Structure 1
Amino acid sequence: MDMGDAPAWAALVVSIGAAAVSLKSRGDGRRAADAAETSVEEARRSSDAAERSAAVAEETLADQRREAAERRAAEEEANRPRALLRIEHANKAKWQLVNHGTGPAQNVECVDDVEAMHRNWPSGLSLLPGEVYDFMMAGSMQAPIPSVIRVRWEGQNDPVPLRVPPRIG
């Protein structure tokens, strides 16, 4: 090749340019591949975060549903009809067992042995809401009228102390 061969020199310059472009493209390809890998990794992290977020949302929803169910159950229990028994003095030796509640009291029984009571309450005594049962109780030195009578009824396993009010007249 001689120094005067212009097409050869032009071919050399073009091939050097092509090599430079090729090297530059190769570097750009590497950067593009690195960017693609970074993008894939970020997408994977984003996907993991979305899964964690969805799991937390599901747990929160489950907790809210459980709390709502517990609240409904508590409201139903609070609104359930219940017997509310009280002892009231009618006159002289006449006393009354009154159901002031919203539910019936079935099989009411006096747990205490009250000597001042003239007759024990009948077996299977039941009082509907607002219903009254009259009984006789007269105190003496040997058998005073108690200040509390304990009673039990269906659904009420533990005896409930009922205050005996002071006698009127």
Structure 2
Amino acid sequence: MADIDFGDAPAWVAVVLAGGAFVISLLARRDSKKSAGAAVEAVTEARRASDAGVRSAVAAEESLALQRQEAAARQATEAEAARPRASLALHWQGGQIFHLVNEGTAPAENLQLLTVSDDAEPLEPFTRLGVGEVAEFLIMTSLASGAPTALEFAWDGQEDPVRLRVPRSG
């Protein structure tokens, strides 16, 4: 600075401008640090939002899988309910004559009358009782034993025996 004369106005203007530029560069550096901090925070928030989005997507996939399972179970239940089934009914015709009627929508294959009492044996199975078909049979009674109150039947596809009430005459 020995070369600079106090009367040299352009040199002094250059010194002042250089000082101003230095101050402005310090302010710019401070602002750039703030911007960098804000950028880091923005990246952190973006990661959190991304993680939340992934968790939300996983939850949605699990929910969809559960809905599909429930729909499949409901569809299987509806299909089972709509499946044709045999449905037996016992009607009194007169005296000791009864009719076993298949009122269902499917035949009863290998139809069996199960044991009625301790001293009675199961009967041989009917081969088949088709839809709307009638099988006529007698229920023999005596004064000592009387007529049974119910008969149990089983057939292919019917897991548990079906208990039919024996209708009373008259």
Q: TM-score, normalised by structure 2?
A: 0.87
Name the counterpart of 2:53. Answer: 50
Name the counterpart of 1:69. Answer: 72
Q: Which amino acid aligns with 2:163?
A: P
* Matches for 1:36-47 after TM superposition, within 5 Å: 36-47=39-50
Give 1:114 shift: 6.1
The CA RMSD measured in Å over matched residues stands at: 2.1
Q: Secondary structure at the match of 1:82?
A: coil
- Distance in 2 (alpha carbons) for counterparts of 1:3 and 1:152: 124
Q: Which ranges in structure 1 are unaligned for 5 or more consecutive residues?
A: none
Compare the two structures and name the one with the higher strand fraction: 1
Q: Secondary structure at the match of 1:52?
A: helix
Give 1:60 shift: 1.4
Residue 131 of structure 2, aligned match among 129, 132, 150: 129
Give 1:42 shift: 1.5
The answer on 1:149 being equivalent to 2:154 is no
Seen in structure 2, the aligned counterparts of structure 1 residues 3 and 24 have a Cα distance that, compared at 3 Å, is same
Q: Which amino acid aligns with 2:165?
A: R
- Distance in 1 (alpha carbons) for counterparts of 2:34 and 2:17: 25
- CA deviation profile, 1:59-117 (whole Å, cap 9, x unmatched): 111111111111111111111111111211112221111111111111111112469x9
Residue 20 of structure 1, aligned match among 15, 18, 23: 23
Q: Which ranges in structure 2 are unaligned for 5 or more consecutive residues?
A: none
Give 1:29 shift: 1.0
Aligned length: 165
Seen in structure 2, the aligned counterparts of structure 1 residues 57 and 73 have a Cα distance that, compared at 3 Å, is same
- Distance in 2 (alpha carbons) for counterparts of 1:124 and 1:141: 29
The answer on 1:59 being equivalent to 2:62 is yes
Q: TM-score, normalised by structure 1?
A: 0.87
